[in-house]
Structure 1
Amino acid sequence: MPLAAAHADTGDTAWLLAATALVLLMTPGLALFYGGMVRTKSVLNMLMMSFVSIALVTVVWLAAGYSLAFGEDAAGGLIGGLGHAGMAGLGPDSVQGTVPTLLFATFQLTFAIITAALVSGAVADRAKFGAWLVFVPVWALLVYVPVAHWVWGPGGWILERLGALDFAGGLPVEIVSGASGLALCLVLGPRMGFKKEAMRPHNLPMVMLGAGLLWFGWFGFNAGSALGANGLAAAAFLNTLAAGCTGLLGWLFVEQKRDGHPTTLGAASGAVAGLVAITPSCGSVSLLGALVVGLTAGTVCSYAVSWKFKLNYDDSLDVVGVHLVGGVIGTLLIGFFAVEEMTGGAEGLLYGGGLGQLGRQLVAVVVVAAYAFGVTYGIGKLIDVTMGLRASEEQEQTGLDLTVHAETAYDHGVLGHGAPVSSSVVSPAQKVTPQA
């Protein structure tokens, strides 16, 4: 008797459709988060780097990225084949588990998009926009796609041979973006005035709005990774909320103790740090573990963001201090807090599992971070010597918004638009001198 054709489950499909939209929303949320953190002269450029990543990564993913990441293994656990290049063979009736394969591919695409966009925060205010257009597709194929195959793809060596756990992207998203950001900011060098001028966020309400959208989208990111409307999705959802809260509180506690002032930027950054750390572990730890993971990340990352001043690397918007450090924390803590009721087998050190799982997590962290850093550094250097990676000194000083995009985020008379204002009602201190 022939086997019945596989059919998608309507409940699982409905949830993953919603989760995919939530994760895609995270990139515009990130654009606002980053845009509020830069100075007024480069706000639009920062927004553009995130939005253009949506378009660039989508084209690359549909052409070859999905097939290489999630196609049948073609090279000993290192990369998939090109059998689904151009999404070949993936019609509306094709099923991955209990959801349509096209939906699964789109869900995974949104992860690739935001990972590329995250890297932009490390090079804010000084990267050539044209160079970014070249960097993103090359980087997506050479860095993100192989790591995604290692961690999630069929036959991937981290998933099936090493046995390290990563539920929703601590390795391919957080650690890859952080290590790549570090490499790229080293290639570019520091911003003009780094460690000499105060480079404060220009719009903290925008930062908070962006953080709120990120937090909202993160439920799709983590709970959606269960690929079904089930109890595991519910547990990952609650763990995500809990870790974001303790991350926020941990960061504010450090600020109050160290600086005497809990800040809005600290609250936003702490929540994001907690969410970063729970990403790999939300499907492996209990609620208690999630609370500890978030608190640890919020506390440690609040100190890690200052390392750039001591080590002299200009990570503009703290991609290294939050995403790399937070991703490492969340991935390693699986080795301590993993529980069998969540993993279906593996247990952490504190639950009687011994050192084995912690060792596997550590190997995965070191290899992925080293690979992402090394390959990104090579891509950045190649682009730098061929077309130049850094904006000119004049562009950086004037601001990338006006010099690259011929626009400004705020109307200060820069382009001469708007109705003239009578000098009789404007004090000398209020007058704005148009820039050339």
Structure 2
Amino acid sequence: MNSVWKEKSHLPIYNSLEHDIKTEVLIIGGGLAGILCNYMLTQAGIDCVLVEADRICSGITKNTTAKITSQHGFIFDKLISEFDVETATLYLKTNEEALGKYRTLCKTVDCDFEEKDNYVYSIDDTQKVQQELTALHKIGFPAQVINSIPLPFSIAGAVKFPHQAQFNPLKFISGIVDGLSIYEKTAVRELIGTTAITDHGKIKANKIIVTTHFPFLNKHGSYFLKLYQHRSYVIALENAPYVNGMYVDEAQKGLSFRNYDNLLLIGGGDHRTGKQGGNFAELEDFAKRYYPNCNIKYRWATQDCMTLDSVPYIGAYSASTSNLYVATGFNKWGMTSSMVSALLLCDLVQGKENPYACVFSPSRTILRPQLAANAFEAVMNLLTPTVPRCPHMGCALKWNKLEHSWDCSCHGSRFAKDGKIIDNPATGDLKLKGKK
């Protein structure tokens, strides 16, 4: 069940850490966000090291749909309503800067970079379309409404962002990692101040950046309350139409579309990790109905950390920690959010001011409706009298028949049938009864 990116890319292999080292900045987590932080800091002349518990890009990065866009659903009307016009404007500006940075880097990297228009559509809600357009006009962005798109169903309308982009993320990473200091198969077991303890060596750092998808330190930042995880699915069809753009439904459980090479990628089937959802069956049914002469070449699944207010947490890990930083909660928009993280954190670890820091501060209010939903899910799960239990915080795990895994609906940890960890925030394997 490999993604098309993994099948068409070859990443270098790095050694494990086998001795004690010192560095100015330690980055924990080798996905796109961590590698971009490593790249940006190295370019700035900062001594830095990245460690990854498995292989780089072995987690979420390899399973993205790889759309590089500052249009994150119908988010701008929401940002103006929950925050203000200034916050919405800053959010757009920083994501546009991230897109521009990709555009510059990809000029010298062979990664199938293509400039494409992006469309967020609504199946049946014209009012939502108009509200988003009004919000974008308030912040001065020249978006426009489109009444039809080249997909096999009618829509109420779509908001178009011109000159966005798509690429192969693993080929991109292969093109920028040369010369970076990276250790694979090097799990951080404990942090003592800014010293990281691994199985075969200590890493003494002045500052640490955590880019482990879901933050692994529970005692700081309350991320177990501020985040939950959503699972989603992708199929890649052969002999499908060329849609010449990137398309995503504004509804959380809607579908997304984009081409890559001679394939049409269709994403969707979303659900909270550990819950029931449409999964691959929903996508396969759609393909059979609208593209009956197409074959499924690839299929893969991923999951995303979702925040309380749809804005990532990027900055100081918590108000009570020093020299510790985090990037998480990308809400299904990991490509631009990873670049935003690198640009922002590169400034923060150097003591520079960044005009966007206030927007993404992990210490902003958590008093959002989603907080109650997360708390309810955790309480109900903790009270469920089943085994096994998640080693992260003791929630009941549910067997995922489709993917043959034990999944946690509290925080999204996943484990293989034999108990081996697949997805964090749990940091160790599941100890199953009767398994030695």
**TM-score for both structures, normalised by structure 1:** 0.23
**Using CA pairs below 8 Å that are at least 6 residues apart, which structure has the higher relative contact order?**
1
Higher strand share: 2
| TM-score for both structures, normalised by structure 2 | 0.23
